[in-house]
């Protein structure tokens, strides 16, 4: 009986023109979302690739110049820094790049807001390109993007509700329910069978459309770790879909008319997907307010030192503390304008790092709270999980920043002593200039963060189903 109802339900759905239109439309939207995300990723990856290549080319060029003995140019208006001076590369900007994960196509996430490259330098970033950024159109942040996760988080529930809001009320209004239940069939089983039929159909549709989208967009499916992430994604989608179907069942179990059910479903969707997350956002920023950014500025300006005015004194003090860094021609160092600048920059950097860390910590607190509080909203759970799987969320970015911080230390350890000692870089030294390479988080870390959300979704669905089945005992058939 159970399978027969499922088959009938499938047949009914396929016979219904509005379902077919909706299904085709939804599949098309999914494919477009994937295509859109993948072209965004391709564009950003190309930019990053370009950046790395230019950077490597630049270092290689300088190495060659050093090998040839070129010393730069001091002609006014045509200044070229000496490539063998460790100051030139060390105090300059090195870009540490966060590559997209192969699974990034699952959600564009925060990848438009969070910079995929971070500046590294002995100095502060204050005068580098890494600091003079932010040219994205602000308007593009306002609307957000039409990516796969938008389709899944916002539109999929609507598709589900459009299909299932009258799963019982519709049958009742057509008078079929009474006939059906005159057979040896329990209402509970009828409902379960119908929902199973609808669920399996949509789930299959989603998987097929997504696979089609991948093929059309030319995403490399063989990349390392892709299928594990894809599996995780499928699990999240399963749990998220289950929640919305359970909700439809719950609404139906009250026994109101289809029209009322439709309005109720729309209202619940609205509250869960639009209103609740923005209320949570407020709550999170009230509990962990991020200090005003003006503090970063005060930190930099708090170090009111001037090269021309304070340079000599600062350097004298510095070499007193660090006699091992004293250059061979010691006297010359006190005259050196550039070294005073290095010293001041180091002082400022210390302060800036302190403040930046305070900011990062507060945002990290917010993120941790979001991961907890977000558990009351299915759409926040899904969005966070998708970002997590795609590697476009705040967690992977934090992981990246930690590595950059460590790398910044390596970079400084390599260059700073050489700068203070006024050594010259030899062509051989160039080979040991450190390079940044991002190391991925382990699958189990990501899996466990996603797992909690999935668990909560399943529990929510279970509770809704349980409550509904309780109510069904009193369901009026007319």
Nearest distance from C-beta of residue 459 to another protein, angstroms? 22
Between 44 and 471, CB nearer to another protein: 44
Q: How many Å apart are CA 262 and CA 320, to the nearest integer?
A: 78
On whether the CB atoms of residues 103 and 232 are closer than 8 A, the answer is: no
Asked if 1 interacts with another protein (CB under 8 A), we say no
Cβ(207)–Cβ(16) below 8 Å: no
- Please tell me whether residue 157 binds another protein under the rule CB under 8 A: no
424 sits near another protein (criterion: CB under 8 A): no
Instruction: For 356-389, give the DSSP string.
Output: HHHHHHHHHHHHHHHHHHGGG-HHHHHHHHHHHH
Output the smallest distance, CB 332 to another protein, in A.
19
Q: Which stretch binds another protein (CB under 8 A): 183-191, 289-297, 320-328, 446-454?
A: 289-297
Query: Looking at residue 80, what DSSP letter applies?
Result: B
For the chain, helix, strand, coil in percent to 5 are: 70, 0, 25
Minimum distance, C-beta of residue 199 to another protein, in the bound complex (Å): 21
Which CB, 234 or 362, lies closer to another protein?
Answer: 362
Which of 60, 216, 274, 402 is the binder for another protein (CB under 8 A)? Answer: 274
Nearest distance, CB of residue 230 and another protein, angstroms:
21
Are 219 and 45 contacting, i.e. CB atoms less than 8 angstroms apart?
no
Q: Does 268 bind another protein (CB under 8 A)?
A: no
Nearest residue to 204 (alpha-carbon basis) of 13, 359, 440, 448? 13
Strand partners, 80: 73
Region of 40-48, 98-106, 218-226, 230-238 interacting with another protein (CB under 8 A): 40-48
Q: Contacts with another protein in 319-338 (CB under 8 A)?
A: none
Q: Does 298 bind another protein (CB under 8 A)?
A: yes
Report the C-alpha gap between 51 and 44 in whole angstroms: 11
Nearest distance in Å: CB 418, another protein: 26
Q: Point out which span in 220-228, 282-290, 316-324, 440-448 binds another protein (CB under 8 A).
A: 282-290
Near another protein by CB under 8 A: residue from 15, 292, 476, 478: 292
What span, in angstroms and rounded, lies between the C-alpha atoms of 52 and 363? 28
- By the rule CB under 8 A, 270 interacts with another protein: yes
Any idea what the Cα angle at residue 9 is, between residues 21 and 185, rounded to 5°?
160
What's the chain's Rg over C-alpha atoms? 30
Say whether residue 228 binds another protein (CB under 8 A).
Answer: no
Contact between residue 310 and residue 410 where contact means Cβ atoms under 8 Å apart: no
The CB-of-246 to another protein minimum distance in angstroms stands at 21
Annotate 399-420 with DSSP letters as a single string: HHHHHHHHHHHHHHHHHHHHHH
Distance of CA 353 to the CA centre of its chain: 23
**Complex with another protein: residue 22 or 477, whichever CB lies closer:** 22
- Using the rule CB under 8 A, is 280 a contact of another protein? yes
The residues with which 73 forms a beta bridge, in sequence order, are 80
Q: Are 318 and 343 in contact (CB under 8 A)?
A: yes
94 in Cβ contact with 54 (< 8 Å): no
- In whole angstroms, how close is the CB of 118 to another protein at the nearest point? 12
User: Considering only residues 49, 304, 426, 448, which one is a binding residue for another protein as defined by CB under 8 A?
Assistant: 304
- Taking CB under 8 A as the rule, does residue 143 contact another protein? yes
Cα separation of 255 and 191, whole Å? 13
Q: How far apart are CA 142 and CA 136, in angstroms?
A: 12
Nearer to another protein, 134 or 323 (CB): 134
Decide if residue 17 touches another protein (CB under 8 A): no
Stretch that binds another protein, among 109-117, 221-229, 430-438, 440-448 (CB under 8 A): 109-117
The nearest distance, CB 404 to another protein, in angstroms, is 16
Which residue of 309, 313, 332, 409 would you call a contact of another protein, by CB under 8 A? 309
Among 105, 148, 219, 284, binds another protein (CB under 8 A): 284
Pick between residue 62 and residue 418 the one whose CB is nearest to another protein.
62
In the range 62-91, which residues lie near another protein by CB under 8 A?
Answer: 75-78
For position 169 contacting another protein by CB under 8 A, the verdict is no
Q: How far is the CB of 191 from another protein (least distance, A)?
A: 20
Q: Is 144 left (phi over 0), alpha (psi -120 to 50) or beta?
A: left
Q: Does 119 bind another protein (CB under 8 A)?
A: no
The residue from 198, 252, 253, 379 that contacts another protein (CB under 8 A) is 379
Contacts to another protein from residues 354-373, by CB under 8 A: 359, 362-363, 366-367, 370
Count of CB atoms within 10 A of residue 167's CB?
Answer: 22
Q: How far apart are CA 455 and CA 445, in angstroms?
A: 16
Query: Least separation, in Å, of the C-beta of 316 and another protein?
Result: 19
DSSP code at position 122: S
Per CB under 8 A, the list member of 20, 179, 223, 275 interacting with another protein is 275
């Amino acid at each position: 009986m159970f399978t027969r109802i499922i088959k009938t339900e499938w047949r009914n759905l396929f016979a219904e023109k509005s379902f077919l239109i909706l299904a085709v439309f939804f599949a098309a939207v999914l494919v477009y979302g994937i295509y859109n995300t993948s072209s965004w990723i391709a564009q950003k990856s190309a930019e990053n690739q370009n950046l790395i290549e230019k950077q490597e080319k630049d270092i290689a060029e300088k190495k060659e110049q050093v090998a040839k003995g070129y010393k730069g140019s001091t002609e006014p208006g045509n200044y070229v820094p000496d490539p063998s001076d460790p100051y030139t590369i060390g105090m300059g900007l090195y870009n540490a790049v966060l590559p997209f994960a192969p699974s990034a196509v699952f959600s564009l996430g925060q990848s438009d807001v969070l910079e995929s490259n971070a500046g590294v330098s002995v100095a502060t970033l204050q005068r580098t390109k890494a600091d003079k950024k932010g040219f994205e159109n602000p308007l593009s942040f306002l609307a957000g993007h039409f990516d796969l996760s938008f389709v899944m988080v916002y539109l999929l529930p609507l598709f589900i509700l459009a299909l299932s809001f009258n799963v019982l009320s519709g049958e009742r209004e057509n008078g079929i329910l009474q006939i059906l239940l005159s057979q040896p069939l329990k209402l509970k089983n009828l409902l379960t069978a119908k929902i199973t039929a609808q669920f399996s159909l949509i789930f299959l549709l989603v998987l097929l459309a997504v696979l089609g989208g991948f093929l059309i967009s030319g995403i490399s499916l063989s990349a390392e770790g892709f299928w594990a992430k894809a599996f995780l994604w499928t699990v999240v989608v399963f749990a998220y879909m289950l929640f919305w179907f359970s909700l439809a069942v719950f609404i139906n179990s009250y026994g109101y008319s289809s029209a009322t059910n439709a309005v109720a479903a729309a209202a619940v969707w609205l509250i869960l997907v639009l209103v609740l997350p923005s209320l949570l956002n407020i709550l999170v920023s009230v509990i962990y307010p991020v200090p005003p950014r003006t503090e970063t500025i005060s930190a930099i300006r708090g170090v009111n030192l001037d090269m021309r005015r304070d340079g000599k004194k600062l350097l004298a003090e510095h070499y007193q503390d660090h006699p091992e860094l004293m250059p061979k021609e010691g006297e010359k160092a006190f005259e050196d304008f550039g070294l005073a600048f290095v010293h001041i920059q180091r002082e400022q950097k210390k302060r800036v790092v302190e403040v930046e860390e305070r900011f990062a910590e507060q945002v990290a607190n917010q993120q941790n709270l979001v991961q907890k509080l977000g558990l009351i909203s299915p759409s926040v759970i899904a969005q966070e999980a998708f970002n997590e799987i795609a590697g476009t969320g705040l967690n992977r970015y934090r992981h990246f920043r930690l590595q950059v911080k460590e790398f910044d230390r390596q970079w400084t350890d390599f260059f700073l002593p050489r700068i203070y000692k006024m050594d010259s870089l030899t062509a051989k030294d160039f080979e040991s200039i450190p390079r940044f390479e991002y190391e991925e988080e382990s699958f189990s870390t990501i899996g466990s963060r996603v797992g909690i959300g999935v668990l909560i979704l399943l529990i929510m669905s279970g509770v809704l189903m349980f409550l509904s089945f309780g109510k069904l005992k009193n369901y009026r058939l007319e």
